[in-house]
Amino acid sequence: MDIAIWTYPWDLLDEGIDSALDRIAETGVDGISLAAAYHMARVLSPRNPVHCVRFLEDGVLYFRPEMKRYTEAFPLRPQASQLCHERDVLADVVEAAEERGLAVHAWVVLAHNSRLGSQYPRLTVQNAFGDRYTYALCPAQPAVRAYAASLVGDLAQRYRLTSLELESAGYMGFEHESHHDKIGVRLDRLHQTCLSLCFCPACSANIAEAGGDPQALAEAIREELIAYFEQDGGGDVNDDQEIWDRLGEILGEAGRDALFQARQKATLDILKALREVAGEATRLTLMASDSLLATGAAVGVPFEEAAHWVDTLLLLDYAAPTEQLATRIRRWKEELPGTKLGAGMGMQWPVARELSPLVERSRALAAAGLDKLRLYNYGLLTQPRLKWVAAITEAARGARSG
């Protein structure tokens, strides 16, 4: 069983790469998944000896890109972090990790990039009202697909990585937690979904190709949202099947199906492009959801289709009941026997409040056939919680070997 901890490069640099990797190796994990391309955030790092609170650079790379690879992505251009001005952080970490027998997986954020989205809003998700989500590059845009492929190819072909782990490889949605969000309406998941649907020119072309009328569908979504707001919001349609059925009523079943066929096409086209540039020798892990309504870090995509292009599907359902998640793992292990299944586990407050449920969860998921476990996150954990990693790792391995 492959167990790694998600890690930020600035934490390794501030602590000292050798010291930090020694501490990680002592926990018993197999390696780290290191942020190689990341988004804007404010981060509280309780153990960091240099910065307790850090405001991250927006949409940068934590390695030195080979700029000639990105010509087809024009106008989107990569930007290396200031941390890479004097050294190639990723190369240095890979070398130090190899000395300790630790694997290094590159954690790559793709469509979530507000630096590029703010510079080129025409390449971002456009909701039914025509508003642009500048944190969300639209995967249906050819330049976005080319940028993602260039980024993955750059990493796969130039660094000695165990695998690439792909975050936000599809659509970002309305539920994003932007800086100082101001939302005074209680939104159920149905209307969050309505606000997440993209009608940019590229998506509209895909919808039309799938047999839908994008202008009519956008108008139907606008009418639904306006009526919802006039009633003071507060709906209670939160179940996937209920949402799917209600979208069929709002858009017509044929319109709904065309819209989601177009969204799936955009995501699968990205995955195909990433596989082609990465080559068959590079292992790709996709942060994914088996709900087609999902947006964000874990893309909603048909697992049967995604499995053609990636080696591992990684579920990020931190809050899902353990047995429910274990049941889904068993189901997908049966239906996709050649594809590995992984899961993320949040260890930070308030996702995790004590150790014992995490130990039981890791044991149950391993027994269900989980292939990969990813722990979140080295730099965010307090010292007591960092000590939990060994117990979680031991429980998972014990259940798998048993």
Enumerate the β-bridge partners of residue 373: 3, 343
For residue 169, which of 78, 294, 336, 31 has the smallest C-alpha distance? 294
Q: Return the pLDDT at 180.
A: 82
Domain residue spans in the chain? 2-181+266-401
The SS3 of residue 29 is coil
Maximal CA-CA distance, the chain: 62
Cα torsion 25, 27, 31, 32: sign: negative
- CA–CA separation, 64 and 154 (whole Å): 9
Q: Say how far apart CA 357 and CA 380 lie, in whole Å.
A: 19
| The CATH number of domain 2-181+266-401 is 3.30.300.30 | no
Give the per-residue pLDDT at 357: 97
Percent of the chain beyond pLDDT 90? 96
pLDDT (tens digit per residue) in 142-166? 999 999 999 999 999 999 999 999 9
Q: Would you call 283 exposed, middle or buried from its count of C-beta atoms within 10 A (0-12, 13-18, 19+)? A: middle
Global confidence as pTM: 0.97
pLDDT value of residue 68: 97
Query: What is the spatial distance between Cα 189 and Cα 285, in angstroms, rounded to a whole number?
Result: 27
Q: Which of 253, 173, 248, 240 is nearest to 211 (CA)?
A: 253
Q: Supply the pLDDT for residue 399.
A: 86
CB 39 within 8 A of CB 113: yes
Supply the pLDDT for residue 402: 64
Q: Name residues of the chain where pLDDT drops below 50.
A: none
Three-state secondary-structure class, residue 348: coil
